[in-house]
Structure formats: structure tokens, C-alpha cells
Amino acid sequence: MRESWPRARIFSLFLLMTPDELQHLRHSLAHLLAAAVLDLWPDAKRAIGPAIDDGFYYDFEFSTPISEDDFPKIESKMREILPTWTAFARSEVSADEARNEFVGNPYKLELIDEFSGEGKNLTLYRSGTYVDLCKGGHTDSLTNVDPESFKLTKLAGAYWRGSEKNKQLTRIYAAAFETKSELVDYLAMLEEAKKRDHRKLGKELELYTVIDEIGGGLPLFYPRGAVLRRLVENFIITQQEKRGYVPIWIPHITKGKLYEISGHLQKYNAMYPPMHLEDEADYYLKPMNCPHFMMLYKTQPHSYRELPMRWTCTTTNYRYEKSGELSGLTRVRALTQDDCHVFTRPDQIESEINLMLDMIDETYRAFTFTDFWVRISTHDPANKEKYIGDPKIWAESEAALARLIEKRGWTHKVGVGEAAFYGPKLDFMAKDVLGREWQLSTIQLDMNLPQRFELEYVAEDGTKQRPVVIHRAILGSVERFLGILIEHFAGAFPLWLAPVQVRLSTVSEDHLPFARKLHEELVHAGIRAEIDDSNEKVGKKIRNAAMMKIPWTIVVGAKEVEGGDFKVNVFGSEEDLVIPQKDLIATVKEKSAL
């Protein structure tokens, strides 16, 4: 109990940890988890145990399977050991000394061989009787740690080093915070997140599915999901077209030569193997769209008067993801992008990016993602070989992006080493209703691809100049955005976005002709409506509509057939709306307006 803790332990709870200190605590607790597991299952073999966002995990090979039912005894053992760990003692060792410490553990031995072969120092950390191979990053002591501030959360299978060719290990996840109250809040959020899980709601609300015979990471959309998808895509199309963007269309396969020019063939590792066609070049499924835009621009001569050229294409790309990394709509192999490339003169960069910023702001407001910040992703100066292009161009591009976002006045941070290999970018990080952070939009300034593709325009003085390309995606991936959106709204979409806005529930067959006529009027007015003409009782029909989170349900009975006002059951509201029949369409449209 908290009252029995020493005064120093109680006082420690009022000291706010820095992010680094919290990560060190989590990493230290990963060691504690491993120590507890080895006490309970001495023949278990440890692999790795890093700190992660919100906690930590450790991978083990067990001789007999464990389950989440074992969590209480593991946590009890962790809390038993906790006050005895007064320090993390570091010692540098030779490869042979390290191997002697981990005899019979193939995972640690593989790491030892790898690290020593790379000339890295090998270090062991000891706490109590527990020793682990580790590069460091621990808290000074665990004696002041709140024993109720961590909790084991789930088990998962994880292939050693992420390869399906290796043995599958058991991964134990845990949440860990500085205080118990923070942990309680986090666990409550996890429970709410389970209810909002887009994989669960996707099935319940008949939005999408993934079929084994078609393949993991290749979602198929039911009619409701397809309507939702179209609404989101059309929202972006409308935003673009009113700002002067125009559509293009590109194919989904291409010769490998295109990616040789762009540099992707040499640098990009998520491409699917080529299709070998007899007596022809190898063809690839496109993993990105940029090279197609470049080549299309190059097919015609361009003048400075034409710029900026704002080209868009909502199109699907195909990227290899390991099966264990796939997740519903948020991690897929077929991802659709609301892609845009603007070909512009250098003097137009600021106005074009600000135009994009306006559109991002309007989009986030519409979907209620109003809490966001911008990460300026730059190159890693310690790994210059990862990037293509002139270093001078990189420097100019990075300075331009920083200047523009600062002028806008939005909160931002610099992410060193997080740029794409062909140019720096702006990443927009938005929080959903649960406070979880997601990367959404991207704006990328690119002076490299125009050079690789030898793009030109005729300047006012008659000379040939290189355009600057600005890459932009508001949604990022349509599928991922939909997954986030489903969880953000818990499937209860606002009236303007709901796949079905109005459901008409008939009391009996006698009222079906009226319901059909009303349905036809609604549909002709552009309102998404459907009829429930099942044989269920009215109460069951209303409950079914609520289960599907239909925004408005109207019961159609004798009173309505005779011209009486419509009583609208509004999802999530205890009060019904009463609307005169003549005002129904206008009211739906008014309530659906953004």
C-alpha cells in the first residue's frame, strides 16, 4: 500500500521525469521483467527487451507456452524483486566473456557475434543477481519506483529479428509510467481503444474485410465502406479543385527503367519482385507515384507562364510489408494516396506551400483533428550516403521548409534523419479523440528528382531552368486515414460523413409504399438513405439502427403516412428531433453542412 512506502519513495512521485528518464525507467523495467520470468521459468531463453512508447516488451523462447493468466504471478515476482535493485552496474567484457555468460542462449550469442564482429564494445549490466547484454540507458535505481506504476498488458508472437524464417518467440508487452495514476488513465484509454478498434468496427459496421484467399494487407470494402471511402476521397478532390489542382491518371505497373532513373531501384526495399515478361523488360508494381508524374511532365515543353502546375492523382501503390506487421487498414500492402505534385518556380514555393497548409487546416477541422503539430524532417548528416542529390540543394530545401512553417506560426519540431532519401519534408502529427498521435499529411520540397529526370521550363529570359517539385498528400494513405477515422469517431460518423445518413424503419408492410416513395425523394436529393422493411418489431429495428450507428432513424407508421411530423431518433442523443415532413430534406442538408 502507498502509505507504507518510505518517505523518499513518496517524494519521488512528485518529480516529473524527462522523456529520456522515462524511457530509461521503462528499459530498466524490461530487465526486471526478464529477471522475474527467469525466476519462474529457469529454462526460458531471453532475446531482446527495449523500451517503447508507453512501456516496454521482452521476447522469450519458452519450452512450454505461457498465457496471460500467468501475468499476475510474473507481476508479483517483479514487485518482489523491485526493491532489491539498487543499481545497474555496467561492465565491459570481451566476446568470450560475454559468450560464457549466455551459454545455451542462441539469441544473445548471435548478438554477441554480430556486435563483436562490427567492433562494438560489449557491455553487461547487473542488478541483484540478474545480468543482461545491454548497451545501457537505465534509471539509477528501482528502489524509488512506484510498484503499481507498471502492468503487463498482452502477449504476442514475434519472429526473432522480424524474419519469418526465424523462430517465433513470445513477446510480453507492458505499460509503464512514473505514477500509478498515469497508468490507470492509460489503461482506461486502452479499454476505450478496444471498443473503437477499427478492425472490430470494420466487421460490425460492414465497412471492410480482409480475405485470406486474396491476401493479408489487401482490404476489400463493402458498400458502406466504399461509400465512406468515396466521401473522404471526394472531400479532398473538392478541396483541391477549388484551389486550382487538376487530375492526371497513371498506370499501376511500369518498367524497371523508370525506377533506375529515379533512384528507387537502388535505394527502395519495399518493392515487389519484378514481373518477367518474355522478350520484354522487367515490369514492377508501382510502390510510389513520383516518377510517373516526372515523366508525364517531361513529355511536353513548358513555359514559366504555365507554372505552377498542380497535378493530382488518387491512386493505389503496392509495397511489401511483412505479414506480422500488417494491421487492418493502418498497415496494408495496397495503399491509396491522395497524391499531388506541384511543379513550380523557386519564387512560387512559399505561396504554394501556404496553399497546401490552408487545405490541411481546413481538412483537419472538417474531420475534427484540431490538435496537431508539424515535424520538419531533415537528413542525417552522419549518414549522407543514404540520400541522393546535391548537398547544397538539401541545405536550401531544409532551410526553406523551416522558414515557411515558422512563418505560419504552427508548433513544430525538427526530426533529424527522418527525411525521405530524395528530399526534406513536413510531417503533420495529429491527435485523435483518445489523445493518440498519428502521422497524417506530408509536404515534401524536392529539388533532386527534377534534376534526375532533367525536367525543364523556359524562363522569362528564354533560358531553360529546373522547376522545383513539391510533393503533397493530405490524407497520407486513404486506408490508414480511414482506420484512424473509424477509431476517432468510434464508427459513429457525423451526419455529413455517415455512409447511411437516414434509415426508414417501417411499422408494417402497409407502410412500405410510403417509405419507398420517401426513400426515393431522399436519394434524389442526394441524401444517403435506406429502408428497414424486415419483420422485426419497431423497437428491435431502432436498436439495430443504433448497433449500426445510423445517425438518423425515422419510424414510418400510420401517423407518418397520414402526413404527421417525422420523429427522428438521433444516434447518441436522448432527445428525438421532430421535423415537419416538408422540411425533412432541407433539415438533413442543413445538418450535414460543414
Residues tagged active-site: 290, 319, 337, 339, 341, 425, 471
Q: Over 537-575, what HEC string results?
A: CHHHHHHHHHHCCCCEEEEECHHHHCCCCEEEEECCCCC
Angstrom distance (rounded) from CA 238 to CA 69: 52
> Are 225 and 202 in contact, with CB atoms under 8 Å apart?
yes
Cell of 185: 488513465
Angstrom distance (rounded) from CA 45 to CA 63: 9
Task: Tell the residue number behind the cell numbers 465502406, with chain if given.
Answer: 225
> Are 507 and 544 in contact, with CB atoms under 8 Å apart?
no
Residues in the chain: 594
> Are 412 and 376 in contact, with CB atoms under 8 Å apart?
yes
Cβ-based neighbours of 132, under 8 Å, separated by 6 or more:
31, 34, 46, 49, 124, 125
Burial of 569: CB neighbours in 10 Å, binned 0-12, 13-18, 19+? buried
Angstrom distance (rounded) from CA 370 to CA 362: 10
Task: Tell the residue number behind the cell numbers 511489401, with chain if given.
Answer: 320
Bridge partners of residue 529, in order along the sequence: 502
- DSSP letters of 503-537? EEEESSGGGHHHHHHHHHHHHHTT--EEEE--SS-
Angstrom distance (rounded) from CA 78 to CA 58: 14
Angstrom distance (rounded) from CA 327 to CA 483: 10
Nearest to 469 by CA among 389, 406, 403, 376: 389
Task: Tell the residue number behind the cell numbers 508539424, with chain if given.
Answer: 374
Residue 23 dihedral angles phi and psi, to the nearest 5°: -65, -35
Angstrom distance (rounded) from CA 30 to CA 174: 8
**Strands 577-579 and 208-209, bridge-based pairing:** unpaired
Cβ-based neighbours of 45, under 8 Å, separated by 6 or more:
60, 61, 104, 105, 106, 107
Nearest to 433 by CA among 477, 489, 349, 384: 489
Bridge partners of residue 310, in order along the sequence: 342
**Residue 571 CA to its chain's centroid (Å):** 28
**Strands 502-506 and 552-556, bridge-based pairing:** parallel
Residue 369: count of CB within 10 angstroms of its CB: 22
Nearest to 305 by CA among 183, 115, 460, 419: 460
Angstrom distance (rounded) from CA 154 to CA 172: 6
